[in-house]
A and B are shown apart, each in its own frame.
Chain A
Amino acid sequence: MTSLPTHTERKLGLVIDLDTCVGCHACVISCKGWNTENYGAPLADMDAWGETPEGTFLNRVHTFEVTRDTAPPMVVHFPKSCLHCDDAPCVTVCPTGASYKRVEDGIVLVNESACIGCGLCAWACPYGAREMDGAEKVMKKCTLCVDRIYNENLPERDREPACVRTCPAGARHFGDFADPDSHVSRLVAARGGIDLMPEQGTRPVNKYLPPRGRDTLETPALASLCDPLPDTPGTPVQGFLGWLDRALERI
Chain B
Amino acid sequence: MHPAPSLIVFTVFSGLGFGLLAWLGLGPALGQPEPLGWAAFVWFGLGYGLAGVGLLASAFHLGHPERMLLAFTQWRSSWLSREAVLAVAALAVMAPHAAGSVFLATPLPAFGMAAAVLAVMTVAATAMIYAQLRTVPRWHHWTVPALFVVAALAGGALLAGQGCAALWLLLLLALLMIAHWRIGDGRFRASGSDAGTATGLGGLGRVRLLEPPHSGRNYLLREMVHVVGRRHAHKLRLIALALGALLPAVLVLLAPGSVVALAFAAVLHLGGMLAARWLFFAEAEHVVGLYYGRGGTAPTDG
Contact = CB atoms under 8 A, between A and B. Distances in A.
B134 A134 contact: no
Contacts of B67: 96, 114-116
A123 B287 CA distance: 10
Interface string B1-43: 1000000000000000000000000000000000000000000
B64 A137 contact: yes
Residue from A1, A116, A124, A138 whose CB has the most chain B CB atoms within 10 Å: A116
B204 A210 contact: yes
A3 to B, nearest CB: 5
Given A62-B291, A210-B204, A96 B70 contact: yes
A132 interface: yes
Interface string A131-175: 110101110000000000000000000000000000000000000
B81 to A, nearest CB: 4
A92 B77 contact: yes
Interface stretch (A6-14, A71-79, A182-190, A218-226): A71-79
Contact of B134 (A98, A115, A126): A126
A75 B219 contact: no
Interface string A94-125: 11111000000000000000111111101111
B218 to A, nearest CB: 6
B214 A60 contact: yes
Contact of A67 (B71, B73, B192, B206): B206
Contact of A199 (B78, B193, B204): B193
Given A62-B213, A96-B73, A128-B220, A76 B201 contact: yes
Contacts of B205: 66-69, 73-74
Interface string A187-204: 000000011111111000
A136 to B, nearest CB: 8
A116 B77 contact: no
Given A54-B217, A62-B211, A63-B209, A128 B200 contact: no
Residue from A57, A62, A94 whose CB has the most chain B CB atoms within 10 Å: A62
B197 A124 contact: no
A92 B129 CA distance: 11
A58 to B, nearest CB: 11
A144 to B, nearest CB: 19
A15 interface: no
Contacts of A195: 200
Contacts of B224: 122-123, 128
A74 B204 contact: yes
Contact of B78 (A2, A73, A123): A2
Nearest to B70: A96
B204 A93 contact: no
B279 to A, nearest CB: 17
Contacts of A116: 62-65, 67-68, 70-71
A136 B63 CA distance: 8
30 contacts: A2-B74, A55-B218, A62-B212, A62-B291, A62-B292, A64-B195, A66-B205, A66-B208, A67-B208, A76-B199, A78-B199, A80-B213, A94-B74, A95-B74, A95-B84, A96-B71, A97-B74, A114-B70, A115-B64, A116-B65, A117-B63, A126-B135, A131-B218, A132-B63, A137-B63, A137-B64, A199-B191, A200-B135, A210-B200, A210-B201
Closest 7 CB pairs of A and B: A117-B63, A137-B63, A60-B213, A95-B81, A68-B205, A96-B70, A95-B80
